Amino acid sequence: MVVTDSSDSGTILRVRGPLEFRCQLDSTDALLMHKVISRTFATLHSQVKSESCVLTVCESPVIIWPNKGVYVTPEEITPNTLCEDIHQWIQTDEQESAGKRSSKKKSKKSSAASVINLSLMMEATKTGPLSAPILRRTLQKSHFLSTTLPMDCVVRITCSDTIKDAFECLMEALTHQLLPDSQLETHRKELHQQFELQGDWPYFRRANAFHFPNELYKDGYLRNPHMVLTHPTLDNGKVYLVQGIYSYHHYMQDHVDDNGWGCAYRSLQTICSWFQQQGYVERAVPTHREIQKALVDVGDKQGSFVGSRQWIGSIEVQAVLNQLLEVTSKIMFVSQGSELASKGRELANHFLTEGTPIMIGGGVLAHTILGVAWSETTGQIRYLILDPHYTGAENLQVITDKGWCGWKGPDFWDQTAYYNLCLPQRPKVI
């Protein structure tokens, strides 16, 4: 589903539920294990398309078998019923306590999309005669892989869509979730053409999934705290900002006491989170130890560096991004902080063309630059700074009110210290 405007009216069907992934690996051969895992995914794909797949509408008596000719209960509902009419079967807490169902349909004049939540289930039994179980005992060494895949899929429907049409679209989208991103590249290219999007920026990878505003991020990190700030006003000035979503990484997170030495590590983690959440990479944000090991692997540090409390700078950040994410970076040098005021054009161009956060290190401090306000005519400049030295809780108001994320003038920098800036370059992929 592509959401072009979250304020559009209409209805969103959202289905969530677990799929149990289980397979036995009798060999350690990588090719054989890949085949077994691929077959298991194919089995799950078949289960989702089988008649045993069941969708229940949350807070209602409505049950739908999407692969049985879109069979629905209660019997008042048919495959040709308008999908929006499901709303009148969904009970609020007050209606449930009174034993009544809503008699009101969703208002056609609503300015925002409503959500119909569904649960994904699988029938455990089948109709007809049951075969007797057969037990067989085999002695061999093997690995049993078992995990739960949390499915979460949405489609947008219009007021004219029937239950049959809507749930056919929903099941197609659900089966796509069982495919790797690499198998969906052709479909992504078609969507880029359909919506006339640039061909070098990922918009339709899993990491680009719509985040429902009323849901917290499970990892606990704040996203884009700069969005609540007011932009500075400069004569003939323009604002140039980071493009996309990042998470705020700072001192003392993840049960790591890095107060006094880990600011560049945290700035690097913020940059890595940007590449992850735009869909450029799938790997998790690296830990301090993984960052240190990467620097040892590229020959930049000795083995004793791993587990230490040694600082890193912009050059090391550049090396880690290349080693772990295969992301290249440009380095900008300034011999003293006072020169940063003359770098408005370069910084503005970076945020226009690349849109990535910038790590800046100078003296004994590191910060993340998220944007600049710059006037080409007067040369005035302000910097949007995300400060990794914060040690408190994930409190957006404290972070913005106290300036841990905020706009700073040229005097924010040490005027006599030299600075290195790491400007990550985004890969040209979709």
Point out the residues that are catalytic: 263, 387, 389
**Spatial CA neighbour of 305 closest among 314, 290, 317, 293:** 293
Cα angle 282-245-262, degrees, rounded to a multiple of 5? 75
Report the C-alpha dihedral over residues 318, 322, 327, 329, rounded to 10 degrees.
30
β-partners of residue 402 are none
Question: CB-side exposure of 277: number of CA atoms within 13 Å?
Answer: 24
Angle of CA points 295, 245, 403, to nearest 5°: 85
CA dihedral 118, 124, 127, 129 (to 10 degrees): 170
Strands 419-424 and 11-25: unpaired
Count of residues making up the chain? 430
Tell me phi and psi for residue 412, to 5 degrees.
-65, -30
